[in-house]
Amino acid sequence: KQEVTQIPAALSVPEGENLVLNCSFTDSAIYNLQWFRQDPGKGLTSLLLIQSSQREQTSGRLNASLDKSSGRSTLYIAASQPGDSATYLCAVRPRDDKIIFGKGTRLHILP
Amino acid sequence: NAGVTQTPKFQVLKTGQSMTLQCAQDMNHEYMSWYRQDPGMGLRLIHYSVGAGITDQGEVPNGYNVSRSTTEDFPLRLLSAAPSQTSVYFCAAIGVYGYTFGSGTRLTVV
C-alpha cells in the first residue's frame, strides 16, 4: 500500500530565505507526482507535475525534483515571500490509480 | 473556462438524511475522484473513476456511493449522513497535465 509522508509538518522561515519541502513515498512504481498549495479555507492549486520519466520541473521560483528509486521528491522555493505562506501538499499517482496525498507542510514566511 | 464545478458550497444535514454532492467538469478528463479533508488527516480518497461506467473504491468508501454515467459528471451520494461525515469534500479531474480541483463543499452533519 502506497504511503506518502511530508516532513516537516510545519515550517517558519524569514522572508528572503531559500527553503526545501520534502515528500517521501513507499512504492516507487508511480505514474507521476504533483505538488499543490492550499490557502486556508480554499481549494488546491496545482504547482508542478513531474512525470515518472522526469527528474525535475521548474516554474518561476519553484523547482520540484523526483528520485523514484529512493522514493523522494523535494520542492525548492527560492527567495521566499510572505505570499508563499500556505500549506503545501504532494500527491502520488501509483499504478493502481489510487492517488494518495501527503498530509502537507504548513509554511509560514515571516516578514 | 469553468474547470471543475462543485455544488453546493455549504450544506448542513441532520443525522440520517441523504444527499448528493455534485461535481461536473468541462475538460473531457477521463479520471475523476472524490476526497475528504479533515484536520490532521489530510486528503483521503473516497472513490474514483477512470472513465464513464467505471468506478472504484479509495481509502474511505464506507457510507458513500458514486456513479459515472457521463464523462462530465461524478456525483457523490451520502446514503445516511453521520456526524463522522462532517468534512470538506473536494472533487478533482485529472488529465495528462495534472489535476484540477473544485472549490470544495463544506458539509456539517448534526
Any residues with CB less than 8 A from the CB of A54 and at least 6 apart, and which? A66
Q: Is B97 on the interface with A (CB under 8 A)?
A: yes
Residues of chain A with C-beta less than 8 angstroms from the C-beta of B97: 49
Contact call for A36 and B99, based on CB within 8 A: yes
Taking only the tens place, the pLDDT of each residue in A40-96 is 888 899 999 999 999 999 999 999 999 999 999 999 999 999 999 999 999 998 877
Q: How many CA atoms does the CB half-sphere of A46 hold within 13 Å? A: 17
Q: Tell the burial category of A28 from Cβ atoms under 10 Å away from its Cβ (0-12, 13-18, 19+).
A: middle
- Model pLDDT for residues B34-77, shown as the tens digit of each residue: 999 998 888 999 999 999 999 999 999 999 999 999 999 999 99
